Structure 1
Amino acid sequence: MSGMSDQPVLVVDFGTTSSAAAVVVGETSHLVPDPVTGAATWPSAVHWDGESMIVGALAERRKRSEPTAYATEFKRGMAADVPMVLGDRRFRPIEQVAAVLTALRAEAERRYGAPVRRTVVTIPASYGPDDPRRAQMIAAAEAAGLGPVELLPEPVAAAFAPVAGPPPVPGELVLVYDLGGGTFDTALVRIDERWHEVLGHSAIDDCGGRDIDSLLANRIHSDGQQWLAPLLVSAANSQSAPATLRLGMAVTDFAKRIKHQLSDTPTVEDFLLPDTPAYRLTRAELAELAAPLLDRTIACCRQLLDELGVPPAGLGSVLLVGGGARMPAVAEAVHHAFGRPLRQVEEPELATVLGAARWLPRSGPRTIRASTDTSQMVPLSFVLPGGWAQLLRWLIVPGQPYPAGTPLARVRLAGGTLWDLVAATPGTIDRLLVPPGSEVASHQWLALSTS
C-alpha cells in the first residue's frame, strides 16, 4: 500500500499454543519477546485474576494456583464461538485472542517507543473467504487497538522465511508442511519474487504438537499407573476440581518436556516428581507413538497434490515449519513419503512470523489505478486481483479534487491483504456509487468523477 514503508507494522503469528510477533519498519524487523521470560514466543494463554486478563508466560505461571481461571488453545474454539468460564466470568474465544493481541501491541509499543496502529495477522490457509474466523481475527485485532488489519495466509508467510542453504527460486513448487501446536496446515506454493501464489491448501484442525503431547501423557498414565495411582487417589479424595486439573497439567507438561528433550537426544530419563520413579522413553518409541498422527499429515499432503495434479517428483522441495518440525520423526516421515529435498529454518516455530516480516517490505505498493475514459463525467472502475474485493472505506469525499496517483479508496482482497485504489488521472469526485462494506468486482463502477 502507498505510503506504508515508514510506518511501524506489528506482524503477528497467532498460534493455537504459542504466538510470535515482530515490529517491521521498512526493511528492518524486531521480534517482540515475552516480557516475563524474554522468549521470542508467547504462550497463547490467558488467566483471569478477577479484575484483568493476564496473558503469556505470566498466565502459564499462574495456571497451577488457579487452574479454573486459566485457558489455552482457545483458537480451536473460534469456529464454535462458545464462551468459556474463567473464574467468575465467561469469555468468548475472540475476547481471549484480543487479550493476547493487546498485550503484544503494548509490549511492541513499549519497545519501539511509538504507537503501532497497523498489523498483519497470519491465518491458516484453510480460513477461506467465507470462513467466519477471518472476520473474528480482524475484529480481535481491532479490539486490541490495531488497524487497519491485513490477513496473510500462513504458508505464504512461511515461504518467505529465511532457510538454511540457497532460497527457493522463482517458479519452484514448494510444499509447505506446517505442524503447529494445535493444527496441521499444508499448501502448495509457487515461488515468485514478490508474491508467492498458493495453488491449493488443506488442513487438519485436530492434529498438532499438543495432540502428540496428549498421546504421550496417556502413555505416561498407562506406564506409570502404579506410582500415579496414589496421586490420582489423593486428587480425587480432595474433592477439588483444581487438584485434579493440576495433576493433569503436571503430566501434560512432563510429556511436553520429554518430547522436547527427544529432539536433541535419542533417550530420555526424567522425573515427574522428585519421589516418583524415573520415566524412560526413546526417540524411536516416541516416533512409533506419533506415527498414526504423522500418517494423517502425510495423507493430507498426498490428497492435496493429487487434487492439484502435481506428482511428488514435480516438487522442488518441502518446507518444514512449525514447532512440530523439530521432531526428527517428522523429517524422516516427510522425506520417506516424498523423496524431495527438505528445507528447514533454524527456529521452525518462528518461520511464519519471520517470513511475514520479510514479505511485508517486498509486497510492493499494492495500488490499483482507475480505468477511465476521456469524457467529462467518467466512471471509476478498477481491475482487481482475483476479480473481487471488499470496499473498506473511501479516502476522499464528493467535491474533493485530487491529482493523479491519489488513493481514492481502500479494499481488502480475497486473500486478506489491503490495497489502495488510486486515480489514474486528476479529477474531482462527483458522487460515490458503492458504500463501504460492499463487495465489489473488477470493472464495476464505484464512483463518478469529473475531469
Structure 2
Amino acid sequence: MSGTSESPPSSRPRDTPVLVVDFGTTTSAATVVAGEEAWPVPEPVTGAATWPSAVFWDGQQMLVGALAERRKRSEPESFAAEFKRGLAADSSVVLGRRRFRPVEQVVALLAAVRAEAERLHGAAISRVLITVPAGYGPSDPRRARMIAAAEAAGLDTVELLPEPVAAAFAPMAGPPFAPGDLVLVYDLGGGSFDAALVRIGERWHEVLGHATLDDCGGRDLDALLAGRIHADGQEWLAPLLSSAAASPSDPATLRLGMAVTDFARRLKHQLSAAPAVEDFFLPNAPAYRLTQADLRALAAPLLGRTVACCTDLLARVGVPPHQVAAILTVGGGSRMPAVGELLQQALRLPLHKVEDPDLAVVRGAARWLPHSGPRRVPAATSPEPSIPLSFAIPGGSARLLRWLVAPGQAYVAGVPLARVRLPGGALWDLTARVPGTLDRLLAAPGSEVTAHEWLALARP
C-alpha cells in the first residue's frame, strides 16, 4: 500500500471510502482509505498534516483546528484544548457564555474532519475507523463516548482500533517486524503516555498488555518548561506579570500563560535537532538559551515514569525484557534524543523508529484497514424447514449493531445479514452461507450476542 496518493478524485477507486482518524489529545490526523489507496486529510487552513485538537466558541458556531488556535488569544475564555482528557467524566466546561461537554467538542472536530475529507475525496463518507488508546477497554465510558461522538458527526458505521496495533503497522525506517515478534510500543504523545506489548501476526496483531499515564505527555513537559521560563525571566516578565495578576481566569493572565507555553513548545521542538537554542520571547527581552542537557534534566522525572511504566508492564504480563524483539517509539514526544538514550540505558533493547512519529498511528491504521481481511462469519444452518441462524463469532461475543436484511427479504449466499462490533472494537459482518429469506429476528440491535447463539430464523 502506498500510504498516500495525490490522484484527483475522478481517478480514485470506486471502493467505499473509509475515514481513518487518529484522535489525539493535542493533535489529530486523518486519512481517507478506498481500496488499497489512501489520501491524507490535511488541516484546511494551514495545510499541515495534523489538526490541532482545539475548539473555539465564537458565540454562534464552534471553530476547530487552526481557526480555533488563531482565535485563542483574542478570547482565551472561549478556547479549549486537550478535551480528550475529560472524556471519562464528560463534565461540561464554559466556553464564552455556553457550556459544552468534552464529547460535544469531539463531535465538532470529527464533523469538520469529515466535511474536509468529503470535499477532498468528492464523495460522501459514512464509515470511520478511529484509533483509541489500548486502555479504552470494552467497559470504558470513553469508548462509548467516542463512538457516540462519531455517530453524532454523521459517521454511522464506527470502528475502533487500539493505537499500539495501528502503530505496529506504520511505515518503519528499517526492516519490518516478523510474525511472532514481541514488540514494546512506547507512545509518548502530546497529552499522555501509552505502553503496550504487542505480538506481531500475519494479519492481526495481539495486545498482550498495556499501561497508560494520563498526565505524562508532551504538554506536561511544556508546562514544566514554561514554569522554568517564568522563574528565569522574572525581570523581563515582571511588567507583564503585574498587569496580569488580577485573577487566574482573567483574559490577560490566560493570554500570558498561553504565550509562555507556546514559547516553551517552540524551544522544545528546536532542541529535537539542535544541541542548544537561543530565542526571544519579546523583541526587547534578553535571548533565552536552552540546551539539550537542560531539557534532559527537566524531563528526567517525567521520562523516568514512562520507563517505569514499561518495566512494570513487562513484569505484570510475565515477559522478561530479553524476550522482547524491539521497542517501537512513536508519538511526537519520542523525537527527543533523551527518550532513546534513556530507553537503551534502562532496557537495553533495539529501538525501531517509524518514518514519522506524529503520523505513525494514522498511517498504520490506514495500512491495517485493507489488509485486515473480509472479517465475515458465515451462518451455521440446520436442515429443518425453519432454519436457525447462528455464527461462530470471533472471541465468543459481540454487540449486534444492526440487521442489514429485513424480515421477509430474500438474500443470496455470502451477503452480509448483520453487523457486529467485537469487544476490541473491530467490525465483523455475519453472512449467509446459503440463499434464503429472513423469517424472524431473535436478537435486537444493541444487544450482546454470543457465538453459536440463534440470532434469527430463515426459510430456504
Over the matched positions of the two proteins, sequence identity in percent amounts to 69
- 2:222–2:265 Cα contact (<8 Å) kept: yes
Amino acid at match of 2:51: W
Distance 1:8 1:272 in 2: 45
How far residue 237 of structure 1 moved from its aligned partner, in angstroms, is 5.9
2:10 is matched with none
Would you say 1:270 and 2:294 are equivalent positions? Answer: no
Q: How does 1:196-207 map to 2 (within 5 A)?
A: 196-207=205-216
Would you say 1:330 and 2:345 are equivalent positions? Answer: no
How far residue 263 of structure 1 moved from its aligned partner, in angstroms, is 0.3
Specify which of 353, 356, 377 is matched with residue 362 of structure 2: 353
How far residue 378 of structure 1 moved from its aligned partner, in angstroms, is 2.4
Specify which of 54, 58, 61 is matched with residue 67 of structure 2: 58
For structure 2, the residue ranges without an aligned partner over 5 or more in a row are 1-12
* Structure 1 residue ranges (4+ consecutive) displaced by more than 4 angstroms after TM superposition: 237-240
2:306 is matched with 297
2:324 is matched with 315
How far residue 160 of structure 1 moved from its aligned partner, in angstroms, is 0.3
Specify which of 177, 185, 191 is matched with residue 176 of structure 1: 185
In the superposition, relative to structure 1, how do residues 94 and 239 fare at CA in structure 2: closer, same or farther (>3 Å)?
A: closer
Distance 1:156 1:30 in 2: 21
Specify which of 29, 36, 40 is matched with residue 45 of structure 2: 36
How far residue 239 of structure 1 moved from its aligned partner, in angstroms, is 10
Which SS does the other structure have where 1:21 is aligned? strand
The range that moved more, 303-312 or 229-238, is 229-238
Would you say 1:77 and 2:74 are equivalent positions? Answer: no
2:372 is matched with 363
Specify which of 131, 142, 146 is matched with residue 155 of structure 2: 146
1:287 is matched with 296
Q: TM-score, normalised by structure 2?
A: 0.95
Q: In angstroms, what is the RMSD of aligned CA positions?
A: 1.4
In the superposition, relative to structure 1, how do residues 138 and 5 fare at CA in structure 2: closer, same or farther (>3 Å)?
A: farther
Amino acid at match of 1:199: L
How far residue 238 of structure 1 moved from its aligned partner, in angstroms, is 9.6
How far residue 368 of structure 1 moved from its aligned partner, in angstroms, is 0.5
1:90 is matched with 99
- 1:158–1:355 Cα contact (<8 Å) kept: yes
- 2:198–2:209 Cα contact (<8 Å) kept: yes
How far residue 213 of structure 1 moved from its aligned partner, in angstroms, is 0.3
- 2:197–2:210 Cα contact (<8 Å) kept: yes
Q: TM-score, normalised by structure 1?
A: 0.97
Distance 2:454 2:222 in 1: 54
1:234 is matched with 243
2:172 is matched with 163
In the superposition, relative to structure 1, how do residues 128 and 240 fare at CA in structure 2: closer, same or farther (>3 Å)?
A: closer
Distance 2:341 2:229 in 1: 25
Which SS does the other structure have where 1:324 is aligned? helix
How far residue 375 of structure 1 moved from its aligned partner, in angstroms, is 2.6
In the superposition, relative to structure 1, how do residues 57 and 239 fare at CA in structure 2: closer, same or farther (>3 Å)?
A: closer
Amino acid at match of 1:380: L
Distance 2:408 2:430 in 1: 18
Q: How does 1:184-263 map to 2 (within 5 A)?
A: 184-236=193-245, 241-263=250-272
Q: Deviations over 1:402-426 (max 9, x none)?
A: 2221211100011111110011122
Q: Deviations over 1:389-441 (max 9, x none)?
A: 00011111222222221211100011111110011122222211111100011
In the superposition, relative to structure 1, how do residues 141 and 427 fare at CA in structure 2: closer, same or farther (>3 Å)?
A: same
Which SS does the other structure have where 1:256 is aligned? helix
- 1:5–1:361 Cα contact (<8 Å) kept: no
Would you say 1:117 and 2:117 are equivalent positions? Answer: no
Which SS does the other structure have where 2:19 is aligned? strand
What is the total number of aligned residue pairs between the two structures?
Answer: 448
In the superposition, relative to structure 1, how do residues 237 and 414 fare at CA in structure 2: closer, same or farther (>3 Å)?
A: closer
Distance 2:392 2:210 in 1: 26
How far residue 5 of structure 1 moved from its aligned partner, in angstroms, is 8.5
How far residue 334 of structure 1 moved from its aligned partner, in angstroms, is 1.4
For structure 1, the residue ranges without an aligned partner over 5 or more in a row are none
In the superposition, relative to structure 1, how do residues 198 and 5 fare at CA in structure 2: closer, same or farther (>3 Å)?
A: farther
Distance 1:47 1:400 in 2: 48
